[in-house]
């Protein structure tokens, strides 16, 4: 209706005609799956500083930094001349005790022969005294017991030779597993051994790596063992690698509120190296369905964050808490909102709480 006055043209309309028309959407419910970018760090799957087990001088070093080695490969040779002298001395002791054993065997044969003659003579009454036969028998027993002691001494000496020879084998330092030599600390002529500080070499297994990711407390609930996780490294832009979730720390860092999680990474081709810092596309999954709405439907003013629900032709402010983005929608949390509720798609606080709304 148009009404004209002398000074002003005034437009009037009915209450129903003047209502703002809004577009509504239904609140959706779905499990949210998304990814967050988390920093990680590569560690070697195994690493060891190799030390000399016995004292000696470095004679030769067969490898250097960057050398790739296999398990059992000879890395360092030490020399210890006094150990050779110890072996010769121990072997000589064995031979001496073996010669004494032969003498003891001859002595046993003599006393046994004497005992047998006395025993035969004792068959004639009065030929020998009974005490002499008993004494001869005791001498045989004592001589045989001495031989047993000598045999034990020979075995102990042989064990000593074997032990020294085993120590001699420690002069050959070998690789305990396959990997790369990442540090070299020793050179020929250097003194090495348990009493000397420092290692000879550092060996790291790089064919398989540990990717350690600090997962925030809010994302820990979505951890899935054996899940494949993609990541990238600055050294190879545009290339995506994958690791498998293998180990979970099970303890939160009190300072960062994160939990360390280890991924196993097969380092095919040796492109990746310990110490690199990859960017991990960490998957986040929730166990329960979330409420999802368009981002424009969420209004934030100085007092609250809310959506405008349409019920019985009126707008109703429903307080919500914003969550993470899920594609074109956003996650919201509210005890008063339910899936299927109709809300204003593009809301604002100009739509007052309780005001009439006309839906397009």
* 230, 124: one domain: no
Furthest-apart CA atoms within the chain: distance in Å: 174
* 175, 76: one domain: yes
* 188, 58: one domain: yes
Residue 14 covered by a domain = no
Residue 2 covered by a domain = no
* 257, 221: one domain: yes
Render the burial of 182-192: b for 16+ CB within 10 Å, e for the rest.
bebebeeebeb
* 349, 279: one domain: no
* 266, 306: one domain: no
SS (H, E, C) the chain: CEEECCCCEEECCCCCCCCCEECEEECEEECCEEEEEEEEEEEEEEEEEECCCCCEEEEEECCCCCCEECCCCEEEEEECHHHHHHHHHHHHHHHHHHHHHHHHHHHHHHHHHHHHHHHHHCCCCCCCCHHHHHHHHHHHHHHHHHHHHHHHHHHHHHHHHHHHHHHHHCCEEECCCCEEEEEECCCCCCEECCCCCCCCEEEEEEEEEEEEEEEEHHHHHHCCCCCEEEEECCCCCCCCEEEEEEEECCCCCCCCCEEEEEEEEECHHHCCCCCCCCEEEEEEECCCCEEEECHHHCEECCCCEEEEEEECCEEEEEECEEEEEECCEEEEECCCCCCCCEEECCCCCCCCCCCECEEC
Neighbours of 318 (CB within 10 A): 20
Residue 150 covered by a domain = yes
Q: How many residues does the chain have?
A: 360
pLDDT score at 136: 81
Q: What is the mean pLDDT of each run of 10 residues along the chain (360 residues)?
A: 44 49 90 84 96 92 96 95 82 88 88 83 73 83 89 89 85 95 95 88 96 89 85 94 93 91 93 94 78 94 92 92 86 91 92 88
Q: Do strands 56-61 and 191-192 pair parallel, antiparallel, or not at all (unpaired)?
A: antiparallel
Rounded Cα–Cα distance for residues 77 and 190 (Å): 11
Residue 191 covered by a domain = yes
* 57, 195: one domain: yes
* 89, 220: one domain: no
pLDDT score at 160: 87
Q: Is 277 exposed, middle or buried (0-12, 13-18, 19+ CB in 10 A)?
A: exposed
Q: Which CATH number do you get for residue 307?
A: 2.40.420.20
Residue 8 covered by a domain = no
**Nearest one of 341, 342, 336 to 320, comparing CA atoms:** 336
Residue 12 covered by a domain = no
Number of domains in the chain: 4
CA distances from 246 to 212, 240, 265 (A): 10, 19, 10
CA dihedral over 272, 275, 279, 281, signed as positive or negative: positive
CA distances from 167 to 10, 82, 297 (A): 110, 12, 78
**Nearest one of 291, 80, 279 to 167, comparing CA atoms:** 80
Residue 1 covered by a domain = no
Residue 161 covered by a domain = yes
The residues, any chain, with a CB within 8 Å of residue 248's CB and separated by 6 or more, are: 223, 225, 259, 261, 262
Rounded Cα–Cα distance for residues 176 and 48 (Å): 9
* 320, 353: one domain: yes
Last residue of a domain, one of 262, 285, 308: 285
The structure's pTM equals: 0.64
């Amino acid at each position: 209706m148009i009404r004209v006055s002398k000074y002003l043209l005034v437009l009037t309309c009915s209450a129903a005609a003047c209502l703002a028309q809004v577009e509504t959407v239904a609140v959706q419910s779905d499990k949210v799956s998304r990814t967050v970018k988390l920093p990680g760090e590569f560690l070697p799957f195994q690493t060891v500083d190799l030390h000399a087990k016995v004292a000696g001088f470095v004679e030769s070093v067969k490898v250097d930094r960057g050398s790739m080695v296999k398990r059992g490969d000879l890395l360092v040779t030490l020399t210890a001349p006094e150990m050779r002298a110890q072996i010769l001395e121990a072997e000589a002791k064995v031979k001496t005790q073996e010669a004494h054993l032969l003498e003891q065997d001859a002595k046993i044969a003599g006393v046994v022969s004497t005992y047998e003659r006395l025993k035969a003579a004792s068959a004639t009454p009065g030929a020998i005294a009974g005490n002499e036969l008993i004494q001869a028998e005791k001498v045989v027993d004592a001589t045989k017991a001495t031989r047993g002691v000598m045999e034990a001494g020979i075995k102990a000496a042989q064990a000593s030779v074997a032990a020294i020879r085993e120590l001699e084998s420690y002069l050959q330092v070998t690789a305990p597993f396959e990997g790369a030599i990442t540090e070299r600390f020793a050179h020929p002529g250097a003194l090495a051994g348990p009493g000397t500080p420092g290692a000879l070499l550092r060996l790291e297994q790089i064919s398989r790596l540990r990717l350690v990711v600090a997962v925030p407390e809010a994302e820990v609930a979505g951890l899935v063992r054996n899940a494949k996780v993609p990541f990238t490294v600055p050294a190879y832009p545009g290339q995506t690698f994958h690791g498998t979730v293998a180990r979970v720390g099970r303890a939160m860092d009190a300072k960062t509120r994160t939990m360390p999680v280890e991924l196993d990474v097969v380092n095919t081709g040796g492109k990746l190296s310990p110490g690199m810092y990859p960017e991990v596309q960490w998957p986040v999954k929730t166990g329960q369905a979330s409420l999802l709405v368009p981002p424009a439907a969420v209004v934030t003013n100085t007092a609250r964050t809310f959506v405008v629900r349409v019920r019985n032709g009126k707008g109703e402010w429903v307080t919500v808490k914003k969550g993470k983005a899920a594609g074109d929608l956003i996650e919201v949390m509210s005890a008063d909102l339910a899936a299927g509720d109709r809300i204003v798609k593009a809301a604002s606080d100009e739509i007052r709480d309780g005001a009439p709304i006309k839906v397009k």
